[in-house]
Structures are given as structure tokens and as C-alpha cells.
Amino acid sequence: MKIDGHSFKELCELCEKLESTSSRNAMITLVSDFLEKLSLGELAIASNLIIGRVFPVWDQRELEVSGATLVKVIKRIVGVDDRVFLKAFNETGDFGSAVKLLFERRRHLRQAMLMTKPLSIEEVHRGLEAIAEAKGAGSRKKKERILEALLSRASPLEAKYIVKAILGERRHGFGEALMEEAVAKAFNVPVEEIRRANMLTSDLGLVARTAALEQLQGLRRLGVMLFHPLRPMLAEKVETVAEALREHGGEAALEYKLDGARLQIHKKGEVVKVYSRHLTEVTDSLPEVVKEVREGLRAQEAVVEGEAVAIGEDGRPKPFQQVMRRLRRVKLVEEKSEEIPIKLYLFDLLYLNGERKIDEPYMRRRALLEEIAGTIPLVEVIFTKNVSEAEDFFKKALEAGHEGVMVKDLTSTYTPGVRGRKWLKVKAGPLTLDLVIVAAEYGHGYRYKWLSDYHLAAYNPATGEFEVIGKCFTGLTDDEIDYMTRRLKELAIAERGRMVLVEPRIVVEVGFAELQESPHYKAGVALRFPRILRIREDKSPQEADTIDKVKKLYEKQFKLKSR
């Protein structure tokens, strides 16, 4: 057993080395060597903090500290105004680096640091936990006091990474997949076992501790854990059902792709908890779903997946944004449930009465789901080898008001968090990308008080950065723009004239005509005629489409047209 008390500064110095290291193998070695020397408690914390996460994926705690609050506390500590903070931000282009720069320039802080005991990894984590757990009346002030006390003890480098942890930022390109490899190397276990255990538990810290303490035997004992939501299996997009059938060897299951909110539902006896696609608990927002599962699902213990669809008086599905209004609702839920009734449809079974089912083929999972669904309807499905039948089913889905179809390999197992070709989606409509808003500008005319022009960015997993590929000011209703303005102001980091730089938190689905070459953006491409189709509050920023996908889509255009 290692001794507790490694300094947080050591973790920060590691992150600095990662930022200046380009070799993937060298990065893995740096992190594995660091992990080996930690105590079990530190190991669980560090394996998350290094990749820009404070709590495990399944953990519902949130820090709820906005960029504006961070700026306010930092200005108070270092004694500067907005102008000086913005100058530091413009010099560095990064929030955490701006904080480090400001701390370095304040002599009184450097002198105070000489008199202060260094922060440990566990102390920093306890401080962040205390911020997350501050609730109720006066919680905002309490969060500010805890944060100020923590940052007042921090060196410039430590302040940089405390701020990055709060914002969920990382710029060193060392993400979850590389951390899995580092844990495997540190404790001499196969990386496939680390990945599988992490997929099942959504808890990389637990997996790292288990690997250190119990090695392979302990990892293999980890399984699906009730009320620890699994990351959803993801699908690739194809253009036609014919293409999808070919990919699956000529035969597949086709399901309606409902225009609703994807849910993962955990049941144990009378206890039912509901999670969004982003693994956020939304149980209290959907009491009718809880009631239906509690009374209708014929299983003592189960984890099922389904889709919540808002239904109009004519029985047809309402737009996706109506469902998201229900998921966001925490007050006046009963009134909202009458205004926007929700219908639940199930489509997969992951766990049943003590046994995980994700390793079973799709056909077996579907059959078991039919047995236990009781009164809860399943998403409509056909099994076919016939392209014409598949195309008719696709048209029928669109006519019913749905997005399109999911085409699933009949033998496919369920792989949490993995986007692969075993599930394919076919949708009608324009080319689309899920992008992140990184800045917004105040509009003109009657929109002059609203942040209505949005800078849209794709995710670069190699660097952890978001790269802008266009601007958009169309697609949202006035109510949605008003909502976005309020949200973006909460996420504001800095202002440059009429433009507000924001934390990259909000994902939007963007339709566009094509991608075109552009020297104005780092990616080298830009959206042509973009239009926001909907706000994707069910997606995290890291689930946004990647720069690599954008570039592949750009190249794919030239299969149909000349350069």
C-alpha cells in the first residue's frame, strides 16, 4: 500500500508534460509511471482528473460553477478588473493559462505560497466535492467561499488546473482511451479488460483501483451495476437502407428511429431511476415513465433502453424540443406532464435479474425484452432481406413523423459507449453535424439584446479542443434564442466587444448544404448555409462530431462532384 499525500502540484506537472509531448506511447508511459506511485484513494481521483473529469461518468454530482463565477472569484483573489483579465485571456487563448499568468504576476500571492502547506491530490478533490455538495439557500455564496479558499492556497500552476477541472477542460490530448491504456500498463493487465470493465461500470477510478488491488481477477468480477448508467451504444450514419442492408450481409432488423429522447431505465423492485442519453438522472422530470416501468415491466431487476416521445392530441409525435422541455423541467412537473404528455417505447435490454445481457446477440435481447415489457410498447421493428420492404418501412417511419430508421445487425452484441457499424441510422433531410457553441454574438434589429449569432465548433479528440467551422444565426425560434441567451451568459468566460466567449457546453444539431474549403478556420473547411435544427441537450460536448468526421465528410462530397 502506498502512502497518501502526493501533492497536487505533481499531477499538474504531469499534465504540463503531456501538453508538450506528441508521442502517444510516451504519454501513456508518463501517466502509467505516475499512477503506479499513488495510493488507492489518489489513484481513483487522478485517473479522472488527468482526463478533465472530477467525478465518475455515472456520478450525478455537478460543480455548478459558471465561468462568470470563476472570473469573479479570480479577480477578487488577484485584484484585477475585467480589462486585465480579458487581456490575460487574449494573451493565452485559454482560461486556465490566463489564470496561471495572473497568479504569476501577483507578488503577494507568491509570498503567501511560501508560508502555505502544499495542496495534496485528495485535498483538492475534497474541496471540489464540497463545492458540488453545496445546495439550497445561499449555496452560490458557499461555493464561492470554498473555491476562493482552495485557489488562495494554490500556486499559479495548481490554480490553472483547478480551474480546468471545474470547466472540464484539457488541452493535452490525453483522453479516456489513453488513460485506459495507462492503467493497463501501470498494473500489468490487458487493456481490453480495462476497457470492458470501464464500459460496464462507467467508473474509471473504480476500474483503476480494482486493477491495482485485484488485477485481472477483480476486473472480471466487475459487471453492470444498477443505478450506474452505462454509456449508450452509438450508431454510424449511412445514406440509404440499401447501403445499410449490404453492410449487414443482406439481412437486418429495422427499427423506427423515433424523434424523442433516448432513456436508460434502471429498476430494482419498486425503485426506478431514469437517465438521459448524457447519463444525467431525469427521474423526477418523468413521473409517468417511472410509474409505467414500476407497474408494467415484468422484472425484479432490469436495465432497459427506450425512447421518450412527446405526443400531440392527434397521436402523432411532437418535435424533439418538446421532449427536452420535459427533461429540463424540475418544477411544476405535473402541470408540464399534462401540457406535454410523454409516451415510452422500449428497444433494448442490457441487464435482467442479476445477469448482464449486453453480450447476447440483438435477436436474443429483443426476444427477452418482448417477454418482460408487459404493457410498455416496443419500438416498431421488421426483420428483412428485401430492399424494397426495407425502403417501404423507411417511408412509413417518415410518414408517421419519425426521423428515419435504425438498421441493426441481427448478431450484434451491445457495446456501451462505442460508435460502430453494427448499428446504422438512415435519416431524411439535409446533411447534419452535431456541433458545440464556443462563442456567440449579439444580434441586430430586434435581436440586439439576444446572443443569436453562434460560432460552431467540432471536437478534436487528439487535442481536447473545439475547432470552429462556421457561424449560424438561423433555425431557432425567439423563445429558443431567449433560452440560449440565458444559458450562454451563465457559461460566459470573456467578452470581446459584442462577442461573448463561452464554455463549450451546448451541443446543437446543424443542417447545411455542403462543406467548403476555407482559409479562415484552422480545420480548413466551413459550413455552407448552416441552420440550427435543434438543441441537443442529450449530448455532451465530447459526443459532438469530430474534426476528423468533418474532413471525411468534406472529402466524400467529391465522390459525387468535381473538385
**Residues identified as active-site:** 257
Q: How would you classify the pairing of strands 261-268 and 271-276?
A: antiparallel
DSSP three-state, residue 535: strand
DSSP three-state, residue 10: helix
d(CA 261, CA 322): 10
* Residue burial 328-361, b: 16+ Cβ < 10 Å; e: rest: ebeeeeeebbeebbbbbbbbbbbbbeeebbbebe
- The sign of the dihedral angle between the CA atoms of 434, 440, 445, 449 is positive
Residue with cell 467548403: 516
DSSP three-state, residue 558: helix
Name 7's Cβ contacts closer than 8 Å, sequence gap at least 6: 118, 119, 120, 121
* Residue burial 63-99, b: 16+ Cβ < 10 Å; e: rest: bebbbebbbebbeebbebeeeebbebbeebebbbbbb
* CA torsion, ordered 175, 177, 180, 184, to nearest 10 deg: -120
Strand partners, 470: 456
Residue with cell 455515472: 58
Strand partners, 268: 271, 301
d(CA 407, CA 384): 10
Radius of gyration over every alpha carbon of the chain, rounded to an integer in angstroms: 24
**Count, residues in the chain:** 563
Cβ neighbours of 1 (radius 10 Å): 7
- Cα atoms in the 13 Å half-sphere on the side-chain side of 311: 11
Residue 14 is placed in which grid cell? 504531469
Residue with cell 465518475: 56
d(CA 327, CA 534): 15
Chain centroid to Cα 152, Å, comes to 31
**520, burial (CB in 10 Å: exposed 0-12, middle 13-18, buried 19+):** exposed
Name 504's Cβ contacts closer than 8 Å, sequence gap at least 6: 436, 437, 438, 457, 466, 541
Residue with cell 449511412: 238
